[in-house]
A = this chain, B = another copy of it.
Amino acid sequence: MAMVCISDFEAYAKKYLPKIAWDYFAAGADDCTTRDENILAYKRIRFRPRMLRDVSVVDVRTKILGSEISFPVGIAPTGFHQLAWPDGEKSTARAARAMNTCYIASTYSTCTLEEISAAAPGGLRWFQLYIHRNRAASQQLVQRAEALGFQGLVLTADLPYTGKRRDDIRNGFRLPPHMKVKNLERAFEVCKMSLLDPSVTWNDIYWLQSLTRLPIIIKGILTREDAELAVRHGVRGIIVSNHGGRQLDEGPATIDALVEVVEAVRGRVEVYVDGGIRKGSDVLKALALGAKCVFIGRPALWGLAYKGEEGLQDVLRILQDEFRLSMALAGCASVSEIGQHLVQFSKL
């Protein structure tokens, strides 16, 4: 089976992963409307490609928070990589480093932050944080991550409680006994996320800032009002995200929300987006609409499921090649030439 495009990896993962793992990764909240809208919304955006511009060299490199990455696609934080591949997040870290891009490691990794760091020394990594009721535990995690050389702290804002994912409930999803959420001190029961603190507010950003010198990126913003609040509270970046459609169903597709957030932010901080990226041209659309970089969630897991580190590199390489080709065919020789003039929203 030739792996030509990202859907090939999806088909592979659906075929070879245990059903309970596939369902967990695929799950969306309620009717999965938002999960699917994330993809459909990209299809409603049309390119306005420009011709006869010298594209003999197409430079796809960019920078996020000052760090160069080989192209504007990073790895979004997702949990439980060992469900996809035995080496779990260690493989993810190695693939991200090999491709010279950014990997956001999840609190709910099945490897420790120390194992992740050791697996791919020198790689660009951010650490994703849920704030727990036990604030001391969260503080400890932040400080471990900083000490290990993680270069950004990503606060997930959209999970005061876990969304209602029907298949997980039907399956009675929980981690197999030999896997652990190792970053948390005691064994952690998935689907009973009672450890999370639903009382977190914007003021807790100040508390995080008091704990660390790492730049804080907030993940899960979907409105101009919250984007403004994020900037005012001193975050350095915003990831426009709906948690892959796994939290509140029937919110906006992220690429649609991106437009609103970018407009509100007016360049004061970097804006990223995740959700629904399946082709290199999706990356081009996101950048045209103002994202500095995109992050992939499920496609990275499919890559892992295919061949671990190597499979994830395949996924990233395909997206990179497609992105480069899309840029060339749209008439862009470098990322700085990408702008809103390249796209229009279809009326359909």
Where the two chains meet, the residues of A that have a C-beta atom closer than 8 Å to any C-beta of B are 2, 4-5, 30-31, 33, 43-56, 157-158, 160-161, 163-164, 166, 169-170, 197-202, 204-205, 218, 220-223, 225-226, 229, 247-252, 279, 281, 322, 325-326, 328-330, 341, 344, 348
Contacts and interface: CB of A to CB of B under 8 A. Distances in A.
Contacts of A33: 43
A44, A53, A170, A204: residue with the most chain B Cβ atoms closer than 10 Å: A53
Nearest to A2: B170
A198 B55 contact: yes
A275 to B, nearest CB: 14
Contacts of A5: 30, 164, 166
Given A30-B281, A55-B161, 9 more contacts: A4-B169, A30-B279, A45-B250, A48-B251, A49-B158, A49-B251, A54-B199, A160-B329, A198-B328
The quantity of this chain's copies bound in the complex is 4
Interface of A is mostly: loop
Given A30-B5, A281-B250, A222 B53 contact: no
A137 B205 CA distance: 64
A279 B31 contact: yes
A225 B53 CA distance: 13
Nearest to A133: B56
A138 to B, nearest CB: 15
A49 B261 CA distance: 13
Contacts of A2: 169-170
Contacts of A326: 248
